[in-house]
């Protein structure tokens, strides 16, 4: 009897017969069930990931040779703009927050749904039209000013329609993200089950809280920038157009005020997911819970005051450059805390090296590279050299692909059994991991050197001297493309025909494992209770642990309720029966 | 655990740590990633980069080492379904790994600040102190590489200092730079009627560039100089540098400016002082001959890669616009069509 | 604009507690007002962003308004400001009324607030039509029109929300001292629009 089983039995898991999700049509309609919406998000965004990947392969194929020979330079710029926009706004942001946030947060905090289920569905249903709209812009000449859409380039007549479409779809996606953030904040603040204080929350919930706060505060400023940009584009005003007296740099400030925090919106939830996955498969408590939780908040706050480090060459005043340099470097501290805590969690564990764990460890490994190059580009003198070069392309892909996407893959392998009720095939999962790992590094590692040597980013044509490494990158990107095939086949096959998943295949301790796979409508049959903390692995006498009997109220050492010796830190607010519970913070009997 | 195993582990641990440090120190100096150094600023930036690379290599090896080690050593034994020992944290350890990065980034911030200051901050053109930069070591740890390259550049510098001022009065070369899709136009303060598509500068002399753009954002980047500055329409941005190595380097546009952004390259030619003087005289003569007729036969086209010339029409640069622009440039030393607000 | 109408409508049109009719669990308390409050943080950030842009444009410009552009008249917008501020007190009367189960009072005070909102909008339209500059005249003019226009749009949304609440009072027991989310949310939103206007007024007309 492990801790996991102990908690499971205490949480009144619903019998499998009661599980919902029987009707496939539900997934194409306006469902208000957070699990259905979560799956809608995950599947939709994964499709956009594949589309974004196809666009990326177009870019890499063009870059296989120095000349412009595969697509026209105009189309190339359209491809790179839409590639970035799709990957950011239609894959990583909605996939992590909308997908995993929606599916996991209510389950993890023992709630039956999100605070505003209909709003949740509205937020989701803004995504497909926005995505289709964005992709349709290829028929009218897609926006070619990059995802940053810097004026005056974005205001040129050549790509006017494409740019207008880009603005509308990003405004829609931003709105969806804000509505999601409102929902998460209220849900996490108000709907935790009794006895779950903030410091009993799983770390993913902390990450989602920090992420939502950022999305709530930062996204509207982007909306403001885009409103002004659209006036310039369509009504002929001159906010950002120097010929009419406007100032293009103001746009850059407003844009990056959102878009730097957006980096954290894309990575913080992945941090949260990794903090969940590593302890389960290491069979060890997370190392330094409070430090990880609070570092998410620190990153969220600091993330708001570093935006101008994207503008070190924009003629930003010196004192501002120095301020933003120091603020940016400070972020290395909370990020370092997380990385070291994860390593300490793994250290001395009993690692179950399944696909989820491999991707999680791959995440730590790859994210560190992106983090280190991130500190380098925070240093103003070096950033002046590599700004807008392939070094940046390499850096951002190590953060977003090596970080966020590896995190999403790890989470998909980890929660697939819970979400679908079927197990994924492990062999294919490992093949997927190896191919992804090799393809990813082959694609992006050489880009560091290309950038430092002098290759600017966003170019369709480049000098002969960069040809060799670019070819390597292109070959790597093909491997990366191929690597998704085992995953897609595995996922589709397993969803339909895979072996049935038990309720708690990984012996996890967080509440989502305490209900059936997939969970029933409204998640729990009874009122779930907290009998252990989310990471209390191995707590108790290790040599006899496997023989621990069911919770026994007569024996204080085995009682699951208050004062249980099984708890690392007995908490009177966590009692089996509602009558025994006390308010958190009022610990006197 | 016997004393012997403890001893063995300690020795092994120390050996690994020493190895990691040595590897980092070696790689920090021998990564071979950077292009040649052709400006006074380049060795400073490279010193900073080498320092960061050293630290990054150390952290990289540490993290990857722990991951790979765990992969083999902490792998679950077959049949063992129990949990690992419950370690919830270790406050002293956590303080240590909060403190160490804090110290590292503090050092890094100070070092970067120093380099930035030594580079002349890029903020103003009045920075006579730059010449002294060589002699104050911004930071002792990482500057070995750049110190090693000093004699050469110092020698060049000394050589050029001995040359009598080639141009009357100022020892700085003042150049106005206008970026436009997809080329660069340079006009020299002491060559009134010349607009050139390539930048000519003498080695060892301070060069000031006043940069603006005529259509969209561009960025002036010479990788060998380690310098980059955005060219923004409606604003004038300034960089200055001192070339230290004779040769021809590529100026690249580093801000997306349109479909042919990748082809927006030209050359910066760093002359020896004598060559520069010759070039300067030729330009003077040429411009006098060409007064008010077709302005300066500046090789804008020849500066472009050959294939670009074939595309001029597509690019939307009408030859007429270009020559009109050139004459505008020639008549006022300031770039035309820019209501420069003079952003400081 | 997109933002505000969608979510508020979504909020107003349903009640969370009625979501799942399976109903073997205790209904959770109503968090919608908190949701509106959190949403208004996002709304205020749009305005904050636009205010920051305005301030930057203004500080960088050599003269503001540009030479040749007249200064804005303060009298009419000043009256408008008083109208809007007083409407915040009026709408609060409605809130007090509904909490006393006084639905006719709610109707009366909401109608009064709507009237004040419409007066404000009419004043703005009057101002727009009598200005010497248009949207595209110069940067100064553009910022003026976009900022006041974006705010005016919020006033319009507020008026429409009040009309919606009034429409719902047809059913006699729709709002009561126990259930009046729509009234409270609209009031909250209206106060927000009011505060934004005060900032905007100080920024555009007084500074």
User: Which segments of chain C does DSSP mark as H helices, in order?
Assistant: 2-13, 32-60, 75-99, 103-129, 139-168, 181-201
Least confident of A11-15, A264-268, A525-529, B151-155: B151-155
Whether the per-residue pLDDT at C33 is higher than 90: the answer is: yes
List the 505-544 stretch of A: residues with Cβ below 8 A of C: 521-522
Q: What is the pLDDT of residue A437?
A: 96
Using an 8 Å CB-CB cutoff, list chain C residues near B343.
60
Q: For residue B190, give both structure tokens.
A: 């002491």
Q: For residue C87, give both structure tokens.
A: 């409407």
Distances (CA, A) of A119 to A38, A419, A520, C183: 13, 22, 21, 19
List the 158-177 stretch of C: residues with Cβ below 8 A of B: none
More confident residue, A165 or C9: A165
Cβ contact B85:A284 at 8 Å: yes
Least confident of A345-354, B3-12, B295-304, C152-161: B295-304
Q: What is the pLDDT of residue B333?
A: 40
Least confident of A189-198, B8-17, B132-141: B132-141
- Write out the E strands in A47-151: none
A404 touching chain B per CB within 8 A: no
Using an 8 Å CB-CB cutoff, list chain A residues near C20.
112-113, 521-522
Q: How confident is the model at residue A174 (pLDDT cuts 50, 70, 90)?
A: very high
Task: Give the separation between CA C153 and CA C144, rounded to whole angstroms.
Answer: 14
Q: How confident is the model at residue A411 (pLDDT cuts 50, 70, 90)?
A: very high
In this complex, which of A122, A219, A247 lies closest to C57 when CB atoms are compared?
Answer: A247
Q: C16 and A220: CB-CB below 8 Å?
A: no
Chain B neighbors (3+ CB pairs < 8 Å):
A, C
In this complex, which of A76, A144, A285 lies closest to B88 when CB atoms are compared?
Answer: A285
List the 245-264 stretch of A: residues with Cβ below 8 A of C: 245-247, 250, 253-254, 257
Task: Give the separation between CA A491 and CA A523, rounded to whole angstroms.
Answer: 23
In this complex, which of B119, B256, B263 lies closest to A461 when CB atoms are compared?
Answer: B263
Calculate how close chain C gets to B229, using CA atoms only, in Å. Answer: 21
Q: How confident is the model at residue B286 (pLDDT cuts 50, 70, 90)?
A: confident
Q: What is the pLDDT of residue B293?
A: 52
Whether the per-residue pLDDT at A256 is higher than 70: the answer is: yes
Cβ contact A394:A373 at 8 Å: yes
Q: How many CB atoms lie within 10 A of CB A541?
A: 11
Q: What is the pLDDT of residue A350?
A: 92
Cβ contact C134:C140 at 8 Å: no
Q: How many CB atoms lie within 10 A of CB A57?
A: 17
Q: What is the mean pLDDT of residues A241-251?
A: 89
The residue count of chain C comes to 207
Cβ contact C60:B341 at 8 Å: yes
- Residue A162 bridge partners (DSSP): A142
Distances (CA, A) of A460 to A62, A146, B253, C97: 7, 13, 13, 67
B106 touching chain C per CB within 8 A: no
Calculate how close chain C gets to A109, using CA atoms only, in Å. Answer: 14
* Interface predicted TM-score of the whole assembly (ipTM), two decimals: 0.87
Using an 8 Å CB-CB cutoff, list chain A residues near C42.
178, 181-182, 216-217, 219-220
Among candidates A549, A571, A569, A548, which has minimal Cα distance to A561?
A: A571
For residue range C133-172, list pLDDT tens digits in order.
888 888 999 999 999 999 999 999 999 999 999 999 888 8
A220 touching chain C per CB within 8 A: yes
Task: Give the separation between CA A346 and CA A358, rounded to whole angstroms.
Answer: 12
Task: Give the separation between CA B204 and CA B153, rounded to whole angstroms.
Answer: 9
In this complex, which of B97, B108, B229 lies closest to A336 when CB atoms are compared?
Answer: B97
**Torsion over CA of A360, A362, A368 and A369, rounded to 10 degrees?**
-150
Instruction: Tell me the torsion sign for CA atoms A254, A256, A261, A266.
Output: positive
Task: Give the separation between CA A533 and CA A526, rounded to whole angstroms.
Answer: 19
H or E stretch covering A426: helix A426-453
Chain C neighbors (3+ CB pairs < 8 Å):
A, B
Among candidates A78, A57, A53, which has minimal Cα distance to A134?
A: A78
Q: For residue C6, give both structure tokens.
A: 């969608």
CB contacts < 8 A (A, B): 293
Q: What is the pLDDT of residue A541?
A: 43
Q: What is the pLDDT of residue B119?
A: 82
Q: B250 and A454: CB-CB below 8 Å?
A: yes
Cβ contact A301:A332 at 8 Å: no
Q: What is the mean pLDDT of residues A27-42?
A: 92
Q: C16 and A118: CB-CB below 8 Å?
A: yes
Q: What is the pLDDT of residue C179?
A: 87
Q: What is the pTM of this model?
A: 0.85
CA-nearest residue to B215 within chain A is A152
Q: Cα A356 to chain center, whole Å?
A: 15
Task: Give the separation between CA C51 and CA C38, rounded to whole angstroms.
Answer: 20
Q: What is the mean pLDDT of residues A101-127?
A: 94
Whether the per-residue pLDDT at B141 is higher than 60: the answer is: no
Calculate how close chain C gets to B343, using CA atoms only, in Å. Answer: 8
A167 touching chain C per CB within 8 A: no
A397 touching chain B per CB within 8 A: no
Mean pLDDT of chain B: 76
Whether the per-residue pLDDT at A341 is higher than 90: the answer is: yes
Q: What is the pLDDT of residue A375?
A: 94
Quick one: residue C101, left, alpha or beta (phi over 0 = left, psi -120 to 50 = alpha)? left
C60 touching chain B per CB within 8 A: yes
A71 touching chain B per CB within 8 A: no
Task: Give the separation between CA C148 and CA C125, rounded to whole angstroms.
Answer: 11
Q: What is the mean pLDDT of residues B173-185?
A: 92
Best of A149, A158, A456, A566 to disrupt the B interface (most B CBs within 10 Å) is A456
**Tokens 């009134």 sit on residue:** B192
Q: For residue A227, give both structure tokens.
A: 């409103």
Using an 8 Å CB-CB cutoff, list chain A residues near B48.
379, 381-382
Give chain A's radius of gyration (CA, Å).
24
Q: A322 and B119: CB-CB below 8 Å?
A: no
Residues 6+ apart with CB under 8 A from C38: A181, A182, A185, A186, A216
CA-nearest residue to B99 within chain A is A333
Residues 6+ apart with CB under 8 A from A62: A68, A69, A70, A71, A76, A79, A460
A430 touching chain B per CB within 8 A: no
Q: What is the mean pLDDT of residues A495-507?
A: 91
């Amino acid at each position: 009897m492990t801790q996991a089983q102990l908690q499971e039995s205490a949480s009144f898991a619903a019998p499998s017969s009661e599980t919902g999700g029987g009707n496939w049509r539900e997934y194409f309609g306006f469902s208000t069930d957070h699990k259905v919406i979560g799956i809608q998000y995950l599947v939709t965004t994964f499709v956009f990931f594949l589309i974004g990947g196809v666009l990326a392969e177009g870019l890499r194929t063009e870059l296989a040779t120095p000349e412009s020979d595969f697509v026209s330079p105009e189309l190339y710029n359209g491809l790179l703009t839409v590639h970035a926009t799709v990957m950011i706004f239609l894959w990583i942001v909605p996939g992590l927050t909308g997908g995993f946030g929606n599916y996991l947060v209510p389950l993890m905090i023992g709630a039956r749904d999100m605070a505003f289920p209909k709003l949740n569905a509205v937020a989701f249903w803004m995504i497909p039209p926005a995505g289709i709209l964005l992709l349709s812009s290829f028929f009218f000449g897609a926006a070619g000013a990059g995802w940053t859409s810097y004026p005056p380039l974005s205001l040129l007549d050549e790509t006017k329609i494409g740019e207008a479409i880009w603005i509308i779809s990003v405004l829609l996606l931003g709105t969806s993200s804000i509505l999601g953030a409102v929902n998460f904040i209220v849900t996490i603040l108000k709907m935790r089950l009794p006895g779950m204080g903030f410091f009993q929350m799983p770390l993913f919930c902390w990450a989602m809280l920090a992420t939502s706060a950022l999305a709530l505060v930062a996204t509207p400023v982007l909306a403001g920038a885009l409103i002004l940009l659209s006036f310039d584009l369509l009504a002929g005003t001159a906010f950002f157009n120097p010929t009419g007296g406007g100032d293009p740099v103001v746009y850059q400030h407003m844009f990056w005020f959102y878009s730097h925090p957006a980096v954290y919106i894309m990575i913080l939830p992945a941090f949260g997911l990794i903090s969940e996955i590593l302890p389960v498969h290491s069979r060890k408590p997370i190392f330094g819970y409070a430090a990880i939780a609070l570092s998410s908040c620190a990153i969220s706050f600091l993330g708001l005051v570093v935006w101008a480090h994207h503008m070190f060459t924009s003629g930003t005043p010196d004192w501002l450059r120095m301020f933003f340099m120091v603020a940016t470097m400070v972020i290395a501290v909370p990020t370092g805390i997380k990385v070291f805590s994860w390593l300490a969690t793994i250290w001395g564990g009993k690692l179950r090296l399944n696909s989820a764990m491999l991707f999680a460890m791959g995440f730590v490994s790859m994210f560190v590279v992106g983090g280190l190059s991130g500190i380098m580009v925070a240093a103003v003198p070096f950033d002046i050299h590599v700004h807008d070069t392939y070094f940046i392309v390499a850096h951002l892909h190590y953060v977003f692909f090596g970080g966020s996407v590896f995190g999403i893959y790890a989470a998909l392998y980890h929660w697939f059994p819970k979400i679908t009720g079927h197990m994924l095939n492990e062999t294919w999962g490992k093949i997927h991991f190896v191919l992804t790992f090799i393809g990813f590094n082959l694609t992006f590692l050489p880009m560091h050197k290309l950038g430092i040597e002098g290759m600017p980013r966003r170019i369709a044509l480049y000098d002969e001297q960069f040809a060799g490494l670019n070819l390597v990158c292109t070959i790597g990107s093909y491997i990366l493309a191929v690597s998704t095939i085992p995953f897609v086949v595995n996922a589709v096959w397993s969803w339909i025909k895979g072996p049935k998943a038990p309720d708690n295949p990984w012996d996890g301790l967080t509440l989502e494992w305490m209900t059936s796979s997939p969970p029933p409508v409204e998640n729990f049959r009874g009122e779930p209770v907290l009998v252990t903390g989310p990471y209390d692995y191995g707590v108790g006498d290790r040599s006899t642990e496997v023989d621990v009997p069911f919770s026994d109220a007569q024996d204080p050492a085995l009682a699951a309720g208050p004062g249980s010796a099984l708890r690392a830190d007995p908490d009177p607010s966590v009692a089996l029966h509602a009558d025994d519970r006390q308010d958190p913070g009022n610990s006197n009997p | 655990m016997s004393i012997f195993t403890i001893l063995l582990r300690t020795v092994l641990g120390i050996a690994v740590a020493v190895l990691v440090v040595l590897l980092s120190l070696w790689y920090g100096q021998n990564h071979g990633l950077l292009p040649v150094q052709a400006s006074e600023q380049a060795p400073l930036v490279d010193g900073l980069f080498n320092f960061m690379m050293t630290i990054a290599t150390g952290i990289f090896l540490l993290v990857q080492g722990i991951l790979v080690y765990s992969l083999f050593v902490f792998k679950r034994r077959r049949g063992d379904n129990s949990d690992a020992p419950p370690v919830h944290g270790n406050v002293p350890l956590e303080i240590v790994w909060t403190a160490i990065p804090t110290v590292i980034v503090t050092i890094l911030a100070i070092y970067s600040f120093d380099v930035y200051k030594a580079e002349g901050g890029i903020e103003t053109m009045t920075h006579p102190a730059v010449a002294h930069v060589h002699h104050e070591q911004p930071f002792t740890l990482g500057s070995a590489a750049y110190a090693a390259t000093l004699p050469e550049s110092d020698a060049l510098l000394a050589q050029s200092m001995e040359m009598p001022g080639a141009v009357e009065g100022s020892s700085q070369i003042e150049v106005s730079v206008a970026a436009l899709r997809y080329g660069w136009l340079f006009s020299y303060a002491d060559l009134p009627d010349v607009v050139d598509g390539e930048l000519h500068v003498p080695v060892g002399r301070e060069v000031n560039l006043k940069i603006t753009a005529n259509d969209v954002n561009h960025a002036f980047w010479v990788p060998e100089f380690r310098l980059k500055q955005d060219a923004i329409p409606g604003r004038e941005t300034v960089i200055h540098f001192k070339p230290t190595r004779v040769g021809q380097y590529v100026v690249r546009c580093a801000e997306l400016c349109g479909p042919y952004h990748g082809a927006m390259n030209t050359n910066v030619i760093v002359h020896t002082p004598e060559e520069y003087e010759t070039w300067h005289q030729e330009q003077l003569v040429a411009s006098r001959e060409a007064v008010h007729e077709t302005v300066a036969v500046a090789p804008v086209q020849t500066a472009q890669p050959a294939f670009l010339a074939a595309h001029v029409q597509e690019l939307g640069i009408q030859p007429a616009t270009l020559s009109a622009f050139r004459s505008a440039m020639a008549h006022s030393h300031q770039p035309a069509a820019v209501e420069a607000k003079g952003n400081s | 604009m997109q933002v505000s109408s969608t979510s508020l409508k979504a909020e107003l049109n349903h009640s969370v507690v009625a979501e799942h009719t399976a109903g073997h669990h205790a209904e959770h308390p109503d968090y919608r007002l908190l949701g509106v409050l959190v949403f208004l943080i996002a709304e205020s950030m749009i305005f904050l962003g636009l205010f920051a842009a305005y301030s930057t444009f203004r500080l960088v410009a050599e003269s503001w308004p540009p030479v040749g552009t007249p200064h804005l008249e303060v009298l009419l917008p000043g009256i408008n400001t008083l109208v809007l501020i007083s409407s915040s007190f009026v709408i609060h009367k409605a809130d007090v009324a509904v909490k006393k189960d006084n639905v006719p009072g709610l109707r009366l005070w909401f109608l009064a607030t709507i009237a004040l909102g419409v007066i404000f909008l009419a004043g703005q339209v009057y101002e727009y039509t009598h200005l010497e500059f248009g949207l595209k005249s110069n940067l100064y003019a553009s910022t003026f029109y976009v900022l006041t226009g974006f705010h005016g749009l919020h006033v319009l949304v507020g008026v429409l929300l009040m009309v919606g609440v009034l429409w719902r009072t047809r059913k006699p027991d729709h709002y009561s001292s126990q259930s009046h989310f729509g009234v409270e949310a609209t009031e909250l939103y209206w106060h927000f629009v009011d505060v934004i206007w005060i900032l905007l007024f100080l920024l555009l007309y007084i500074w």
